Amino acid sequence: MHLARFPRVRLAHLPTPLEPLPRLSEALGVEIWIKRDDCTGLAGGGNKTRKLEFLLGDAMEQGADTLVTQGAVQSNHVRQTAAAAAAHGFACEVILEERTGSKAIDYTHNGNVLMDRLFGAGMRTVPGGSDMTAELEKTAAEVRARGGKPYIIPGGGSNPVGALGYVDCAREIVVQADELDMQVDRIITATGSAGTHAGLVAGLAVMGADIPVLGIGVRAPKAKQEENVLKLARETAALLGRPDAVTEAMVVADCDYVGEGYGLIDGAVIEALKLAARTDAIVLDPVYTGKAMKGLIALAKAGRFENETVVFLHTGGAQGLFGYQGEIEGAL
């Protein structure tokens, strides 16, 4: 795949560990390993750091001086973008969408929001359901009007350039598994803005590594999520010079565990957080990995992964727990 062809800024602590989860495996009757992308390092870590390595490389090549991006109020992507900007001398402007409708003080001021402020990002909020593409363009125009050179990063860093970070992660998982003489039967990840899921699918396809990826949806219905992932995976493969590598059958999303909506948690999510923490001391987040683990638990109990070795991709986000204190604390 020769990713050195693409401009890149090194931000992450790589390779991240690939570790067994013995007590969770015993509890669920499935051999589960965890890819620790919560340990990428930047601003507490998370999956967006891999994407930002390529996005910042592209921004620098284009001569930009301001990163412009968007996300939900408790966005992990925004936190990591603000940190990357601070570390490399960019200004940063972010738009936070009130996607969940929560007005709780911990949600609107703690967790990722507190860290956004700490890193010095310029911030504004817009109502849920706003046209976020238009909002990005509006902010970029304001940056240009004051003499700046904006670089727009879509929500989640999910475009073909950002997805290269998870092409690299796919390579990394295969190399680590080979070093461990371990056959990986399935990779499971949360799937939302699609970049992580698409990058994994594209990377595995281009390598010819026959490992299926199951995305556990956190927002969109199944048909829409698979459409988004397939489109981006194909665009990413094309960027790598292999436009025909990704087939429709490679993209699978299970969106039965979204619950009432994006960023809204339920008892099963809290139980998943507790089980991961109290078996192998893994701290998940309530929006992405908590729902992915909710799905993994339910599917494992239904016998879906019998005789498989599963790698669960931990995409980070524990900082967001502090935005949900009021909802979680009473259930612990």
Cα angle 36-38-44, degrees, rounded to a multiple of 5: 150
Q: Which amino acid is at 77?
A: H
Q: Do the beta carbons of residue 64 and residue 99 sit within 8 Å?
A: no
Cα angle 118-120-126, degrees, rounded to a multiple of 5: 100
- Percentages (nearest 5) of helix, strand, coil residues in the chain: 50, 15, 35
Burial tier of 290 (Cβ tally within 10 Å: 0-12, 13-18, 19+):
buried
Phi-psi region of 307 (alpha: psi -120 to 50; beta: other; left: phi over 0): left
Q: Which amino acid is at 225?
A: Q
Tokens of 174: 């295969």
Helix (H/G/I), strand (E/B), else coil: 7? coil
Q: Which amino acid is at 139?
A: T
Beta carbons within 8 Å of 283's beta carbon, 6+ residues apart: 38, 276, 277, 318, 321
Helix (H/G/I), strand (E/B), else coil: 171? helix
Buried (b) or exposed (e) across 195-224, using 16+ Cβ within 10 A? bbbbbbbbbbbbbeeebbbbbbbbbbeeee
Residue 267 DSSP one-character state: H
Tokens of 314: 């931990």
Q: Do the beta carbons of residue 311 and residue 188 sit within 8 Å?
A: yes
Phi, psi of 92 (to 5 degrees): -140, 130
Residue 35 DSSP one-character state: E
Tokens of 234: 């194909």
- Residues marked as catalytic: 75
